[in-house]
Structure 1
Amino acid sequence: MFLVDVENTLEQLTLDEKVKLLAGQDTWGTFAIDRVGIPRITRYFEQTSDGPHGVRGTSFFNGPRGMLLPSATAMGATFDTNLIHTAGELLAAEAREKKCHVLLAPTVCIQRSPLLGRGFEAFGEDPWLNGTIASAYVNGVQEHGIACSIKHYAAHDQSTMAIEDDVRASERTLREVHLLPFQLAVKNASPWAFMMAYNKINGVHAAEDPWLINTVLRQDWGWDGVVMSDWFGTYSTSESINAGMDLEMPGPSRWRGELLSWAVMSDKVKKPTIDASVRNILKLINKVQPWKDEAEVEGGDTQRKRDLCRKVASESIVLLKNERNILPLDPQTKQTYGLIGPAICNPAVSGGGSADLTPYYISRPLEAIIDVVGSENVKTAIGCQAHLFTPQLLADTSVPDTSEPGYLVSWYKEDPIANPNAEPLASVTTVQAQMYFADNLPEAVPKAYWLQAQTIYTAPKTDTIEIGLCVLGKGKLFIDGQEKIDLYNSQPLKTLQTPMFNQASMEVTTELEVKQGKRYRILVYLQNEAAIAGLDALNCGGLRVGCCEKVDLAAALAEAVELASQVDVPIVIAALNSDFESEALDRTSLALPLAVDQLIEAVVKANPKTETGNAIADILFGKTNPTGRLSLTFPKRLEDTPAFLTFGKGEQEIHYGEGAFVRYRYYEKL
């Protein structure tokens, strides 16, 4: 039974009420109009949630855990629409469990360059593959009453400061390459919502481009869903709604509200235009509401969900070469295995930004391979470090005075260091080591606050470790009561993109000698005030605590080489993590992090027999056949890529000089 009689409700709404519906009330939700029975699009009726590899819910801070699927690029490598349809059904179940009704996914922009920071969110470089896999994904999700907001429409093929980019491309290039995945998804799955891109196309921001929205999407393709902005991706009042963009997100509105009412009264925006957008919103509400009366869905961390994630991961693996038939390995044969590389214990499970979430579990290669061959046959060597920021301190932590993992976070209305007797306004526990306090805070927390986050770290072995801190605001880090890091009185000059959407400070680290089994109290003190006072002195606040073994790179490399020469089967696992691949952060080279390339070369020389998690073990030991296909091209040199001369931030205008010959198409025409 539908909740809203669309046409009757339209007649009853006042102009101000209609305008309210066309912008967010807060970060994730819209306004309710109780008088006519329109529910608020939020937690208890309809809320949006970031994807595309899991359903985070509506909270950056302390949100619920979720099932984390392999990256979209891995999904694309399966070339299996039935499998991705099933993955979409899993995401729908996760969304319903979290009371989410709109999943902000999938991403179908083209991996025009291998340097694209959000490339891991896209299915591949081929528009037909992108659109076909996206269709299966959308159908799997929407068949269970959850809307997909396919993104980012269109040509959102760079991440760093995309708001300023102006893509210059011919209509042929757009229609044959960059619009085609969206067109295929419309034809085969009809996503219920579209999210606009941040960038301009041929001088006009996508979010206010009538050709892109009204001409192509609505008229040429016959699509009739909701068009929404990306978060803070609205740049005008009249232009955006006249172009057909229905919903500005997030709230409170910057460009609508009273400004839109004035635009209507001054006849810059016609009332039928307002009605058309409101009608689209009401129709979306009707599409996603009926499932509320259905039976409960499968919830939580279940074996069926784990099995599906493992299957997607296994079927995405591409075997490039199998010289001398080394694979599959026989676990029954008595031989030793050397696991080499920093990813063996800290696997890269996701890129950063909107795609990030706290997973139910992480499958680590070391544990997975030990499960197959036994710990007595496995030796390890880190070989090098491969991070820009120390890996988040999650393992071996506990909430003070408990055995539960994580941190205790307490907020104060006065400085708890200056006044040790200050009582906290509120306290919560969290398993996050990166805490972005943009939402989901206790009601008692004021706009300006002080905070303490503390955990007990139990050293797993005697060693020298590095502990790192980034803050959004001003902060200090203490270990057993002694100040070790000061980001309160001064902060380093920024030289690279930082966590929390580039809002955090640079990381500062400190060294600590630890003894196996000893417990250390780590406390972070934070004030949500900018380090440099100004008009916008207050911010939402945030912190990130990291920890890793202190590594002498030369000694670590030598250890890895020695291990490789001693074992029967050396296995090097190399990866990029969210430090290098993230929203708002494009890469600058094809190189693997730091000394990883050097590590691989050295190990191969030491033992020429060289080869995540459970899926890797499944392939290595023949449990699963590696059926994945490359969904993108790996060039030998960056200079060989067709977008080499026109990708990056040299100019705000980005000329798509390769035209329709993107990535592999370019090589085929040579």
Structure 2
Amino acid sequence: MAMTHDFAALITSLDLPAKVRLLTGASAFSLAPEPTIGLGEMRFSDGPTGVRGLKFVGGRVVSLFPNATLLASAWDEASAYEVGKLLAEEAMAQQIHVVLGPTINLHRTPLGGRLFEAYSEDPLLTGKLAAAYVRGMQDSGIAACLKHLVANESETDRNTVNSVVDEATLRELYLLPFEIAVSDGGAWSIMGAYNDVNGQAATEQQHVNNEIVKGEWGYPGLIMSDWFATKTAAAAANGGLDLVMPGPDGPWGDALVAAVEAGEVKEAVIDDHLGRLLLLASRVGALGEQRAWPSSLPSPSSVVRREQLTRLAAAGMTVLKNDGGTLPLERSQSVALIGRHAVETIDMGGGSAQVNPPYQVSVLEGLRALLGDKVSVTDGVDVRTRPVPARNGFLTAPSNGQPGIDVTIYDADGNELETRYCSLAKTMIGMDDDFTAPAASARFSGVVAATGPVELGVMGVGSWSTSFDGAFELRVSGGGIGEEVLTPPARTFVVESPGSLLFEATVAFEDMGLYGLVGNMASRETVDVIDDAVRAAAAADVAVVVVGLTEEQETESVDKTTLGLPGAQDALIEAVAGAARRTVVVVNAATPVLMPWLSRVDAVLWAGLPGQEGGHAVAAALLGDIEPAGRLVTSFPAADGASPAWSVTPVDGELRYDEGTFIGYRGYHAGRAPSPAFWLGHGLGYATWEYSDVRLVLGDAPSVTATVKNTGTRPSREVVQVYLRPVEPDEPVRLVGWESVTVAPGESARVTVHTDRRLWRKWNTQAASWDRLADGGEFLVARGLGDIRATVS
């Protein structure tokens, strides 16, 4: 890296231990200042769907955005730029310098538990949207961080798995989104992944980090580790890693100083790492004169945020099926709203993407706000197998009567260290606290207002005693890093509540972890629940069944085992469809689900994980107040196992990417799996379209022009997609460009789609260089590959 004279002088003024100290975090989410060179503290925050701040759980109230796949479904770079700008505002409100996002790993297999954080199965779509998001964020002086470099598409054994990927696949597919976000977006930082790549840890990747990213791409920015991912001193420092997170402990420190003194690492390598850190600091206003933070920014519950988050969520929602103009709903219709997800809408995924929002609007609240008493509601079947902290005010804190719990934390001698109110009925202990002594135990309390049989319980690693269930131990079951935080163990029991029931529990613990109280109504028999739903459906003009996944399936650290809806949700839909005049299914999930009932329902709206305004956004989409003009960002398989790449389970520690570049729609098109239920790019919106006069304009990267006519009755947004089918039989079809246009009913528009020249190349492994695809091939102009409108050679 070519450092400016100023950086070189600052670096030279520090001794080796001082330099190395700056290359490991000072805390869980901050970097140490160095006043002698004018370096201030830098503060990081997780940020895929909201800028959480410095605390993993229970931090300040922040805006909860729609999840990445839902935002990406707009296929709109301007929208992605706006999201980056808004997240920068959320960061500035908390004096955060670096937001840890976007996640730009690909949807290799639909089983990936963390797909909800990532944009798409396509590298061009992912890269272009990520670049726009990065520009939006960094135009406000807040650094984005591309993650996770690289081949990190699943969660099973994520800390030890060796992803085996051939060089052509690595460069043409998995590195391409990073390359685009670096070249087109100018991202200031990148995060190295947990996994190994071809036998070498991502944090030690001489080939990827040094030769490709910093070498071939000329990347001047910083590469940091994922949290706790770095295992070595010399190997990681020499392998291109610039910063170890979190701190203050880690594998560098004295060990890295010793490695330099022993000649295992050149001091020039340390200087390069520090130069990149200082460049980042100068970009975010933490070097020299410290940046001034704006004092007036929209609050998470402000009117402006409500409009932005509702519009962004609804615009990405995707109409998968709409027979007979069932959607949009008419305001005169009576609606039977059915399903657990209708009353407890899932607005965010699990793991490090979680934030503390001001509220989460359910679909019930959203529809009732627009239709009032025309909406009846029937709770659905159970959708979870694992207990979760109490939601929606089921438990209230004795201290203030607000939704949540009270927690008092003690040291080993029983002295009180802190009492805190936790609105989420859960809290992190030991990770980001600053107590006067080590925490050893805690007391939890909450009040149950409900009457009747209720399920109560506790979650977290330790020795528990409760006011209803005696004493017991809870321990983690697996060996994954962070299990006590990401998937803590729980135990529940059913008691009869007379109303205003005090629930107390104490725990003695040994280390950090996530702790909380479980609380909800006890489960009812499935047959009784479905009977209630059938009666409600038969009595209404239209039944809207809201089904989906939860953070059990869509979470960091755990992959899915099936695409089937959990519990008896399929049976619920079948029964309702048999009784209702018309049936609309809303899928509250970020990733593909199986739809064995598809032929028996009238309409399907895919709603993603829609953020804090989720219910308002679903209601606006169902009623057509905002057109759900989304297009799928990943193909939906027709059955479990029926995708070009499926397994996420390593064999002998290895996960082999043997499908090469034929993932998702590329593999389906090549016949490597049965046709999908829905292709990438599919989405009906609320209009119909005619395509005409499709022409090819030649050049280094050709363009395609077409006239599109809105043959529907409403203004609508069309996304014109162009795919290239190369002449080489071993090269997959690939998306090469897209363009959107909004057209009034009966009107036409001329659209030009510029293709991206980076999709015209293939990696020559023998020559270790790029070749251009052979001339010829065909352009497919399409609304997804299941609806090709024109072919031009």
Q: Could you tell me the TM-score, scaled by structure 2's length?
A: 0.77
Question: What SS does the aligned partner of 1:8 have?
Answer: helix
- Closer/same/farther in 2, CA of residues 624 and 541 from structure 1, 3 Å limit: closer
Give the whole-Å Cα distance in 2 for the aligned partners of 1:495 and 1:609. 46
Instruction: Give the stretch that moved more between structures: 619-628 or 102-111.
Output: 619-628
The superposition leaves residues 620-665 of structure 1 with CA deviations (integer Å, 9 ceiling, x where unpaired) of 1121112100001110012211112x43234421111111111110
Give the whole-Å Cα distance in 1 for the aligned partners of 2:258 and 2:316. 53
The superposition leaves residues 110-150 of structure 1 with CA deviations (integer Å, 9 ceiling, x where unpaired) of 01011100000001110001001101111111111110111
Partner of 1:418: none
Partner of 1:471: 460
- Closer/same/farther in 2, CA of residues 195 and 172 from structure 1, 3 Å limit: same
Equivalent of 2:363, from 362, 365, 368? 365
Partner of 1:594: 567
The one-letter amino acid of 2:328's match is: P
Equivalent of 2:577, from 579, 588, 604? 604
Partner of 1:248: 244
Contact 2:361 2:615 in 1 (8 A): yes
The superposition leaves residues 456-502 of structure 1 with CA deviations (integer Å, 9 ceiling, x where unpaired) of 2322xx43221122122222232xxxx33533xx3488499999656
Question: What SS does the aligned partner of 2:515 have?
Answer: strand
Contact 2:298 2:305 in 1 (8 A): no
The one-letter amino acid of 1:601's match is: E
Equivalent of 1:435, from 427, 433, 439? 427
The superposition leaves residues 413-455 of structure 1 with CA deviations (integer Å, 9 ceiling, x where unpaired) of 357xxxxxx66332122212122214343533x2242211212
Partner of 1:323: 323
Deviation at 1:391, TM superposition (A): 4.2
Q: Could you tell me the TM-score, scaled by structure 1's length?
A: 0.90
**1:544 maps to 2:527:** no
Give the whole-Å Cα distance in 2 for the aligned partners of 1:250 and 1:275. 20
Give the whole-Å Cα distance in 2 for the aligned partners of 1:81 and 1:361. 28
Give the whole-Å Cα distance in 1 for the aligned partners of 2:461 and 2:517. 12
| Count, aligned residues | 633
Instruction: Give the stretch that moved more between structures: 296-305 or 265-274.
Output: 296-305
Give the whole-Å Cα distance in 2 for the aligned partners of 1:212 and 1:124. 22
**1:292 maps to 2:273:** no
- Closer/same/farther in 2, CA of residues 361 and 383 from structure 1, 3 Å limit: closer
Give the whole-Å Cα distance in 2 for the aligned partners of 1:650 and 1:146. 41
Partner of 1:647: 648
Give the whole-Å Cα distance in 2 for the aligned partners of 1:485 and 1:577. 30
The superposition leaves residues 330-351 of structure 1 with CA deviations (integer Å, 9 ceiling, x where unpaired) of 11x2x42111111111111111
Give the whole-Å Cα distance in 2 for the aligned partners of 1:399 and 1:191. 43
Give the whole-Å Cα distance in 2 for the aligned partners of 1:109 and 1:119. 8
Residues 366-381 of structure 1: pairs in structure 2 closer than 5 A: 366-374=364-372, 376-381=373-378
- Closer/same/farther in 2, CA of residues 97 and 669 from structure 1, 3 Å limit: same
Contact 1:72 1:120 in 2 (8 A): yes
Contact 2:464 2:506 in 1 (8 A): yes
Partner of 1:236: 232
**1:527 maps to 2:523:** no
The one-letter amino acid of 2:533's match is: A
**1:457 maps to 2:430:** no
Contact 1:127 1:180 in 2 (8 A): yes
Give the whole-Å Cα distance in 2 for the aligned partners of 1:449 and 1:634. 47
Select the structure with the greater relative contact order (CA < 8 A; seq sep ≥ 6).
Answer: 1
Contact 1:485 1:510 in 2 (8 A): no
The superposition leaves residues 132-169 of structure 1 with CA deviations (integer Å, 9 ceiling, x where unpaired) of 11011111111111101110011101112212111111
Partner of 1:151: 147
- Closer/same/farther in 2, CA of residues 495 and 467 from structure 1, 3 Å limit: farther
Contact 2:159 2:481 in 1 (8 A): no
The superposition leaves residues 548-585 of structure 1 with CA deviations (integer Å, 9 ceiling, x where unpaired) of 22222221122112222222211011111112211110
Residues 615-634 of structure 1: pairs in structure 2 closer than 5 A: 615-634=617-636
**1:124 maps to 2:120:** yes
Residues 491-506 of structure 1: pairs in structure 2 closer than 5 A: 491=474, 494=477, 506=489
Equivalent of 1:176, from 172, 178, 183? 172
Question: What SS does the aligned partner of 1:613 have?
Answer: helix
Contact 1:49 1:104 in 2 (8 A): yes
- Closer/same/farther in 2, CA of residues 393 and 449 from structure 1, 3 Å limit: same
Give the whole-Å Cα distance in 1 for the aligned partners of 2:501 and 2:663. 53
Partner of 2:493: 510
Contact 1:454 1:523 in 2 (8 A): yes
Give the whole-Å Cα distance in 2 for the aligned partners of 1:275 and 1:304. 45
Partner of 2:471: 486
Give the whole-Å Cα distance in 2 for the aligned partners of 1:136 and 1:83. 8
Partner of 1:224: 220
Partner of 2:352: 354
Partner of 2:32: 31
- Closer/same/farther in 2, CA of residues 110 and 608 from structure 1, 3 Å limit: farther
Give the whole-Å Cα distance in 1 for the aligned partners of 2:482 and 2:294. 40
* Aligned residues: CA RMSD: 2.2
- Percent identical residues: 31
The one-letter amino acid of 2:471's match is: D
Question: What SS does the aligned partner of 2:312 have?
Answer: helix
Contact 2:121 2:634 in 1 (8 A): yes
Partner of 1:406: 404
Contact 2:389 2:519 in 1 (8 A): yes
Give the whole-Å Cα distance in 1 for the aligned partners of 2:75 and 2:574. 31
Give the whole-Å Cα distance in 2 for the aligned partners of 1:105 and 1:193. 10
Partner of 1:666: 667
The superposition leaves residues 574-620 of structure 1 with CA deviations (integer Å, 9 ceiling, x where unpaired) of 11111221111001111111111221222212225111411111111
The one-letter amino acid of 2:438's match is: K
Equivalent of 2:544, from 556, 567, 571? 571
Contact 1:410 1:426 in 2 (8 A): yes
Instruction: Give the stretch that moved more between structures: 117-126 or 20-29.
Output: 20-29
Deviation at 1:234, TM superposition (A): 0.8
Instruction: Give the stretch that moved more between structures: 543-552 or 318-327.
Output: 543-552
Give the whole-Å Cα distance in 2 for the aligned partners of 1:22 and 1:126. 34
- The structure where helix makes up a greater share of residues is 1
Deviation at 1:389, TM superposition (A): 2.6
The one-letter amino acid of 1:519's match is: S
Contact 1:349 1:362 in 2 (8 A): yes
Equivalent of 1:393, from 390, 393, 397? 390
Question: What SS does the aligned partner of 1:664 have?
Answer: helix
Contact 2:113 2:555 in 1 (8 A): yes
- Closer/same/farther in 2, CA of residues 128 and 379 from structure 1, 3 Å limit: same
Give the whole-Å Cα distance in 2 for the aligned partners of 1:503 and 1:336. 41
Residues 197-212 of structure 1: pairs in structure 2 closer than 5 A: 197-212=193-208
Deviation at 1:21, TM superposition (A): 1.1
Deviation at 1:355, TM superposition (A): 0.3
Contact 2:441 2:506 in 1 (8 A): yes
Partner of 1:531: none
- Closer/same/farther in 2, CA of residues 200 and 179 from structure 1, 3 Å limit: same
Contact 2:404 2:421 in 1 (8 A): yes
Instruction: Give the stretch that moved more between structures: 587-596 or 434-443.
Output: 434-443
Give the whole-Å Cα distance in 2 for the aligned partners of 1:279 and 1:400. 52
Q: Which consecutive residues of structure 1, in runs of 5 or more, have no partner in the other structure?
A: 41-45, 416-421, 529-537
Give the whole-Å Cα distance in 1 for the aligned partners of 2:534 and 2:424. 35
Give the whole-Å Cα distance in 2 for the aligned partners of 1:382 and 1:651. 44
Partner of 1:43: none
- Closer/same/farther in 2, CA of residues 127 and 401 from structure 1, 3 Å limit: closer
Question: What SS does the aligned partner of 1:120 have?
Answer: helix
Contact 2:157 2:480 in 1 (8 A): no
Deviation at 1:540, TM superposition (A): 1.5
Contact 1:24 1:250 in 2 (8 A): yes
The superposition leaves residues 68-97 of structure 1 with CA deviations (integer Å, 9 ceiling, x where unpaired) of 111101011011111121111110010011
